[in-house]
Amino acid sequence: MADFDGQGVLVTGGSRGIGRATALLFAEGGARVAVHYASNEKAAQKVLDSLPGTGHVAVQADLGAGTARELVAETLDKLGRIDVLVNNAGIYEAHPVLTATAEEWETSWHRTIATNLIGPADLIHAVVPQMVDLGGGRIVNVTSRGAFRGEPDHAAYGASKAALNSLSQSMAKALAPHNIYVTAVAPGFVETDMASPYLDGPDGAAIKAQSPMGRAASADEIARVVVFLATPGSESTTGTIIDVNGASYLRT
């Protein structure tokens, strides 16, 4: 287990799924973790109660409503520092182009881009100055295989994740001279609450069969890659987008 003693880690979407598993691994490594949640305070508190160590906090913000800077300010007030930012929070809304109304289409696009792209971008902009003051930091963005293969019924999601990949690489170039390393993790389907309607639905078996492993990834598998990218010694991974999709989609 990596040694994150004394470090502050902000995990967005930390009350469930990948975020919850990531918060646990960082806490096991000695970090003090800020568990971000959008609305489910009870779930966030349950995560806090499960984390080893002390000094962990819950922080609330609706990232789709332009509150990223307030989230960073509150986290810094409570933790004193943010060495690692994990942009994990996101939404996945269907809006099929042939059946969605104009209002449904526009609303879903605006909400998805605001949450999945603008929120992370603002968090990065807000957190970087204090990372510079600290002498460095890590930013790990959770994107998706949908950024590469296309999302016909969730076009805004695929577009937002493709843009987040591009943002990750742009920031990797901009921030490496300041010892701030930026990477992305692109999962496929993961056994989480968000994916359960699909994995447990009538198409679940076909979805799992997309991978030669015959299953979706666990949240812990994704979290382990996130933590690796934040670990000292992995600096040269900056700018990398790591596929963690069980060979369900292979890029060339």
- Tell me which residues are annotated as active site: 157
Q: Hey, what amino acid is at 84?
A: V
b/e for 173-208, b at 16 or more Cβ within 10 A? eebbebebbbbbbbbbbbbbebbeeebeeeebeebb
Taking the C-alpha atoms of residue 227 and residue 67, their distance in angstroms, rounded to an integer, is: 25
Dihedral over alpha carbons 26, 221, 240, 7 (to 10 degrees): 0
Residue 249: burial class (beta carbons within 10 Å; 0-12, 13-18, 19+)? middle
Q: How many angstroms separate the CA atoms of 204 and 127, rounded?
A: 39
Extract the tokens encoding 119. 């929120």
